[in-house]
Amino acid sequence: MKFLYLIFIFFVFMGASIAKELTGDDIFDIKQNAFALYNTNHINEAYEMLNKIPNDKKDEEIYLILANIEQDKNKENEAIKNLKLAIQKKPEFYKPYYNLGCIFMKRRIYPLAIENFELAKKYNKENAYIFYNLGCAYMNAGDFKKAKKNFIKAIYLKNDEKSFYYNLAYVNKKLGKEKDSKKIIDFYNQTFIENKAN
């Protein structure tokens, strides 16, 4: 509670002094406090605080958090704008591409989802969820071979996610590989479900 009170005092102080030119230290402090608010689910306060920073002083992380908050509030069009601004600030930052991919998946615009997940993959080859979601996008677009390749990579990076195995089994079935599909399900059940029971 004391922590939130101190952040509130800081917020009031910054609101009063925002008219003056913000220094790098001011922006750093606002950003850290806003991120703390965001991480403790005080998204409205975090959003207000981050929007006090002039646009020319915002970095890719600020635009990403603003977009996350907008996604939480179902304001996807605003989120898309901020994700694109994050990419303008730092084109090799994978997270905005990933979030755009998720938005386009939700909207069932699979070519744009694939494009953004591919870009996220280009900049982060170690995140299993990028490969998994890329696999889902390809699967929903009907490209089961590419979906399979990405599900296999997702499992290689994180081998304990049930949905990875079930989707890999599904695309194998769609590719006419019923035996492989059954083997994948049996392997998952024996390795993760039966072993947990013992």
Residue 150 CB partners (closer than 8 Å, separation 6+): 131, 132, 134, 135, 138
Query: For 58-81, b where at least 16 C-beta lie within 10 A, e where not — what string?
Result: bebbbbbbbbbbbbeeeebeebbe
In a domain, 69, yes or no: yes
Domain membership of residue 142 (yes or no) is no
Does residue 13 fall inside a structural domain? yes
pLDDT for the residue numbered 190: 86
| pLDDT at residue 196, as a whole number | 62
Cα gap 26→109, rounded to integer Å:
40
Spatial distance between the Cα atoms of 135 and 154, rounded to a whole number of angstroms? 9
pLDDT at 66: 97
> Is residue 121 in some structural domain?
no
Residue 11, domain member (yes or no) = yes
Question: Which of 73, 71, 72, 74 has the alpha carbon at shortest distance from 83?
Answer: 71
85, part of any domain? no
Query: Tens digit of pLDDT per residue, the chain (198 long)?
Result: 555 444 544 544 555 444 468 888 999 999 999 999 999 999 999 999 999 999 999 999 999 999 999 999 999 999 999 999 999 999 999 999 999 999 999 999 999 999 999 999 999 999 999 999 999 999 999 999 999 999 999 999 999 999 999 999 999 999 999 999 999 999 988 887 765 655
Nearest to 60 by CA among 37, 87, 23: 87
- In 3D space, the residue among 136, 182, 196 whose CA is nearest the CA of residue 163 turns out to be 136
164 domain residue, yes or no: no
Q: Which residue has the tokens 């965001």?
A: 38
Q: What is the pTM of this model?
A: 0.85
Helix axes 178-188, 162-174, angle to 10 degrees: 170
pLDDT, residue 6, reads 45
Domain extent at residue 29: 1-77
Q: How many domains does the chain have?
A: 1
pLDDT score recorded for residue 55 = 93
Distances (CA, A) of 182 to 31, 121, 177: 50, 29, 9
Q: What is residue 192's predicted lDDT score, i.e. its pLDDT?
A: 79
Task: Give a yes or no: residue 27 inside a domain.
Answer: yes
